[in-house]
Amino acid sequence: MVCDEIDKLKLTETGHPHYTRPILEAASQNAYKVVDEILLGSPIAIQSTDESGYDIIQLSIIHRSEKVYNLIYEIGERKNRYRTILDSSKNNIVHLAGRLAPLRELRRRRGAALQLQRELQWREEVKKHVFPTYITRENIKKETPDMIFTREHEKLLSEGEKWMRTTAESCSITAALITTIVFAAAITVPGGNDDKEGIPLFSNNTAFILFAVSDAISLFASSTALLVFLSILTARFDEIDFLVSLPNRMLIGIVSLLLSTIAMMVAFSATLFLVFCQQKLWMIAPICVLAIIPIVSFVALQFPLIVDLFWSTHVSVFGYQRKSAVRKFNPNNIRLLFHK
């Protein structure tokens, strides 16, 4: 509505200052719909800069506004400019991506490890669009982009390592306990063995087959989880490891632990039915209800972390697949500004 009122003023050239502060603030707050609406009414607003000389793309990088970044950066003429643009301290956009994100953006991620991962993703994304020499170019303080990133994220790296180690230690204890339990259950099968041939007495029972399969799945899954968590504890915890390697290991470990827990409860339920229920089918219902309680509790507590790990590691927030599907402004109108 404000844009419509400004457009009624018929200020084709002087209308630009009316949009300066709003479009810069929108770029800083990731309000891509506001940016889209302003550029629809005044394409020249894309040239707006703040008191530090930063424009929309630079502000979107500094404030980690990925939706605004995707909305604007597709305009080809802008790319050539951003490959070489420097601020007053001779920082290029890779230097800007090396700065620590605002606290409100960091808090959108679960744990310091995923926060650092998103920061690394921003750095790698911006590196794709500059000349290779700019990745190692120094600013006025003789700092390269990597040096700025390391200095700004030193505390976050330490917190991410602590979070990873604490989580891996806790989960490895659980995985080791499950491995011990299901291994012992596999040796001492429910009902015992035949004295002559050593064959389990319930070997022809469906519940026994279910026990054997679920116990094996639980043993293999918990062993996998244990080994994965041990690999995390012995990792070097370098910056780049938080981009894909460590989150992937944590994802595999937690999924394996979840699978082993579910399989263990199924095996235990089958054992209860075999040994204590005397083939009474109505006992299946209360056993299933009791078995579901720890499973649901585990899933409810850990599933959000699994989703965050998968989404953050394997689903990109940059590029064509993440751009706004309802973009209103015409990129050709903006391209014409750079040919005049």
- pLDDT value, residue 10: 64
| Residue 76 confidence (pLDDT) | 52
pLDDT digits (tens, 9 = 90+) for 119-174: 999 999 999 888 888 899 999 999 999 999 999 999 999 999 999 999 999 999 99
Least confident residue range of 104-108, 109-113, 202-206, 273-277: 202-206
pLDDT of residue 321: 43
Q: Which residues of 123-161 are buried (b: 16+ CB within 10 A; e: fewer)?
A: bebbeebbeeebeebebeeebbbebbbeeebeebbebbb
What's residue 48's pLDDT?
A: 85
Measured distance CA(66)–CA(339) in Å, rounded:
27
Residue 226 predicted with pLDDT over 60: yes
The answer to which of 102-116, 248-262, 263-277 has the lowest mean pLDDT is 263-277
Contact 61, 96 (CB under 8 A): yes
> What does pLDDT average to over the chain?
83
Residue whose entry in the numeric block shows the structure tokens 């299901």: 182
pLDDT score at 261? 92
Of residues 229 and 298, the one with the higher pLDDT is: 229
Q: In the predicted model, what is the mean pLDDT of residues 281-298? A: 80
Structural domains for the chain: 2-153 (1.25.40.20), 155-314 (1.20.140)
Q: For position 325, what pLDDT does the model report? A: 47
Residue 14 carries which DSSP code? T
The lowest-confidence range among 3-17, 236-250, 320-334 is: 320-334
- Please give the residue that has the higher pLDDT: either 254 or 324: 254
Q: Hey, which of 12-26, 31-45, 140-154, 271-285 has the most confident mean pLDDT?
A: 140-154
pLDDT of residue 146: 93
- Whole-number percent of the chain with pLDDT over 70: 81
Q: In the structure, what pLDDT confidence band is assigned to residue 118 with cuts at 50, 70 and 90?
A: very high
The pLDDT score that the predictor gives to residue 324 is 47
Q: At what angle do helices 32-41 and 16-28 cross, to 10 degrees?
A: 160
Q: Which two tokens stand for residue 136?
A: 């190692």
Residue 241 clears pLDDT 50, i.e. is over it: yes
Would you say residue 34 has pLDDT above 60? yes
In this predicted structure, the answer to whether residue 211 has a pLDDT above a threshold of 90 is no
Confidence of residue 274 (pLDDT cuts 50, 70, 90): confident
